[in-house]
Amino acid sequence: MICPKCHASNAADSKFCASCGTQLAAAQPSDPMLADPMPGATTEAVQPRTNKRLIIMLTAALAALIVAGVALFVTYRMEVWGGKTLPDASSIAQEVADVSGKKKSAVKAKDVTAALEKKGLATKTARVFSGKEAGAFLGYQGAQAGERVKAGQTVVIRESAGPGVPKNTLGQQAQKVTQTLAGMNVPVHYKKVYVADTKKNPEGSVVATSPEAGQAVAKDAKDAGIYVGVAAKADDNALPLDVMGKSVDEVKSQLESQGHNVTVKKHFSSQAYVGKVSGALPEPGSELSAGEDVVLYQGIDASQTKDAFTDPNTTGYSLDNMTDVPLAGSTSAADGRWCTNAGECITIDNQRLVEDGATSNGDDSSSFDNLLIACDSIQQPFCGSSKADYLVEQNYGAFELMPYDSMTSYWSDGTKYSLSAVSATPLPTSGEYRMQDLFLVVPTGSDLKGLESKGYFDKDALTAAAKKKTADTSRPFILRRDPSQYKTTTAPYAPGTANPFVPFDGYNGSASDVVKMKPAPSDENAYYLVESSEPDWQNLPDADVGADANASGSKASEKTDSSSKVDTSLFKQVANQYRFFSTGEGSQWVGLTVKDDGTFTGEVNEADASSSGPMATAPRVSYPFHGKFSSIKANEANGYDMECDASSFGWDGNEYQYTDSIGIMPCGTWHWYPANTPFPSMASGTVAQEGLSINFATEAAGASSSNVLLYDESAKASAFIPYIQQ
């Protein structure tokens, strides 16, 4: 049979063409009667039959494909496969309360961390300085919101560390950092800092910053902002920044040839500065006035720890006439700023712990109202018992520092009592010792292994520290005792019992009664000494770093600059000679002369206790000092509030060692009030009343003072009144 479509030959009984599949005409019937149609009849065409089975199969296959595609799409969107999507900030924003109590939409890095952990993703946080508040979410590192990341991949979340100075700032040309620093949302000041070697420190490069590179701007310093030191060629009227690391003798000789009086003091330093200049006062990089006194700090390591406690320039005590030289109980060789790698810092100034710019009075666990001492220098300035277990008297190089009153204090019924104080009534015979601060100072090269063998550190603390990066012993660092790591921070007190929270004093108990140190040192918990020299920013000339820097000076900066200018004319109202009678029998007084520019001079004058005879006729010993008030403003009681600049305060000769905050120390916030000002109207008026009560009890008990009063609110007692030396 011939196919009518393709003309291919097919078998006679074929229904479909074997070549093209066309349906063929029906085969002729076998009945000859039906071979031909009847005359006049018509023939009806046969319709092709649809292959329903094939269609059903194709339809089913297509439906399966659609279902599978939808399932894949849905499960992909559900993040069952194909990784996880990084959410954008708006999708996880939460309502949080700001400081004022109002609601605002904010996204914290911790919120993003929680959202990603719910997705099963591992996270890591990278803290970055920015103009946003600390903790704010800044984005992802190396990825964008909406991107898919593989399951098991660690996502790095960028968290704001608040405003600060990035680590890579030093050494860059100042013009290249202006845009970054402008985004910190605080004022930025560019100052000339003088250098001698312009090959090592090219002019125009950043050689110093405040805060230090890698550190955040302190909360109470945001109005002051960031200071950037830009290298400028030094002349003979400057102390170059790069005296750091130079020979002490050479620098001293050069300064003396220029007419300066130079004193050398020992100070703990990193290995690079041992035996060399490790700092100076005025600070390296500053301008010098004609004939200005200069202090050079000579770097020392653990091998010279005991020298730091015998050198008169460092301890403030003259031991020249003593045959058997004892160790002083305190030293200025550990003064400075100490910071962890995470940016947590402590500052020791004038042998006292300083927090937030003022000597901290702390709470029961942190009392800093007095000297940080290394031994029981309680009734005398030197270490006492030869049987004691103070590290400073041993050969490890490391030593403890603890608040003075931690050696003598205990509590009874919630009241603190001092065993060294003179009391008219008997002291309670029961109570408790409380754990106060203890600092382990570890100079460069200290014998930490020896301390471990001694059993100084808690065993569990050593095990924990062994799992971390070891501390860098080529740099001096401080280890701060952590009360949170102890099960108890109190111990019973009774007369004659030992305080287990301070080193064995050689009298009561034994060394085995003392609690072990927690934590043990590691790179994570070490407070390293910050050795980048910081110039006297306020007195340095401005540096011109181009239009970009000027543009970065925001309105906030302009406002701060204008508001921070000191109206020195107000000091004319305060300028006078004053005296504070700090003892009742006249054995000591403090004189203070305030000038009309805010600078002051004075002396601590006391009777020589080593002489025989009455105090009234005993020879007098003078300890002169100098300093300045950095600001002054009128208060609501017709007086003035003044800030004492602690960095400018200094002793002109031997340093007087205060055992309590009476008199000129600490150098904090001062107040001046006219005569007859009511005590309740004064800021911290009880401090002035306490000071007056020493010599003017009747007046202190009244409603006001008949004298003009000048006093330091941070002191335990302070009351300077006008006094002209007869």
pLDDT tens-digit map of 523-546: 999 999 988 667 778 778 888 887
Among 359, 387, 595, 599, CA closest to 504: 387
Using the structure block, give the residue that is written with the tokens 């929680």. 114
Domain ranges of the chain: 1-37, 84-95+104-160, 167-300+533-537, 336-529, 568-722
pLDDT score of 389? 93
pLDDT value for 563: 38
φ, ψ at 573 (rounded to 5°):
-75, -25
Averaged pLDDT, 560-580: 70
In this prediction, residue 303 has a pLDDT band, given cuts at 50, 70 and 90, of: very high
207 pLDDT above the threshold of 60? yes
Residues in contact with 465: Cβ distance below 8 Å, sequence separation at least 6, in sequence order: 457, 519, 520, 521, 522
Residues 136-141 have a mean pLDDT of 83
**What would be the CATH architecture of the domain defined by 167-300+533-537?**
2-Layer Sandwich (3.30)
What pLDDT shows up at residue 49? Answer: 53
The reply to whether 84-95+104-160 and 167-300+533-537 are identical in fold is yes
Quick: pLDDT tens for 34-76.
444 555 544 444 444 556 777 777 877 787 777 767 666 665 5
Mean pLDDT of the chain: 80
Extract the tokens encoding 143.
């990825």
The answer, yes or no, to whether residue 499 has pLDDT greater than 60, is yes
Residue 152 CB partners (closer than 8 Å, separation 6+): 122
Q: Residues in the chain, how many? A: 726
pLDDT digits (tens, 9 = 90+) for 440-497: 999 999 999 999 999 999 999 999 999 999 999 999 999 999 999 999 999 999 998 9
Q: Find tokens 């700092």 and name the residue.
A: 279
Residue that wins the pLDDT comparison between 438 and 9: 438
- 606 DSSP β-pair partners: 588, 621
> 438, 400 in Cβ contact below 8 A?
yes
What pLDDT score does 191 carry?
92
Q: Which of 472, 5, 12 is nearest to 272 (CA)?
A: 472
- Per-residue pLDDT band for 420 (boundaries 50, 70, 90) equals confident
Cβ neighbours, 10 Å, residue 77: 10
Angle (nearest 5°) at CA 83 between 81 and 88: 130
d(CA 645, CA 668): 8
Residue 610 pLDDT = 67
Contact criterion met (CB below 8 Å) for 3 and 17: yes
- Model pLDDT, residue 459: 96
pLDDT over 70, % of the chain? 81
Nearest to 685 by CA among 716, 713, 714: 713
- The percentage of the chain sitting over the pLDDT mark of 90, rounded to a whole number, equals 27
Q: What per-residue confidence (pLDDT) applies to 139?
A: 81
CA 67 to chain centre: 59
Q: Answer whether residue 553 shows pLDDT above 50.
A: no
Bridging pattern class, strands 650-651 and 620-634: antiparallel
Ranges 401-405, 486-490, 690-694, most confident = 486-490
Q: In the structure, what pLDDT confidence band is assigned to residue 659 with cuts at 50, 70 and 90?
A: low
Say which range, 8-22, 314-328, 349-363, has the weakest mean pLDDT: 349-363
What is the per-residue pLDDT for 562? 37
* CATH number of the 84-95+104-160 domain: 3.30.10.20
User: Smallest Cα–Cα separation from 490: which of 411, 384, 424?
Assistant: 411
Which pLDDT does position 72 carry in this prediction?
64
Q: What is the pLDDT of residue 614?
A: 66
Reported pTM: 0.56
Which tokens belong to 138?
Answer: 């800044």
Q: Identify the pLDDT of residue 447.
A: 96
Spatial separation of the C-alpha atoms in residues 714 and 350, rounded to whole Å: 15
Q: In the predicted model, what is the mean pLDDT of residues 210-220?
A: 86
Q: For residue 241, with 0-12 CB atoms within 10 Å meaning exposed, 13-18 middle and 19 or more buried, which class applies? A: buried
> Which tokens is 707 given?
């004298």
> In three state form, how does the secondary structure of 86-133 look?
CCCHHHHCEEEECCCCCEEEECEHHHHHHHHHHCCCEEEEEEECCCCC
Evaluate if residue 422 carries a pLDDT over 90: no
| Confidence band of 318 (pLDDT split at 50, 70, 90) | low
Instruction: Answer for the pair 393, 387: CB distance below 8 angstroms, yes or no.
Output: no
The end-to-end CA distance of the chain, in Å, is 149
- Residue 192: pLDDT above 60? yes
In the prediction, which pLDDT does 83 show?
60
Nearest to 457 by CA among 524, 522, 377, 547: 522
Average pLDDT (350-361) is: 59
* Distant-in-sequence, close-in-space partners of 248: CB < 8 Å, separation ≥ 6: 264, 275, 276, 277, 296, 298
Predicted pLDDT of residue 357 = 41
| Tens-place pLDDT, residues 373-383 | 899 876 677 88
Residue scoring higher pLDDT (689 or 12): 689
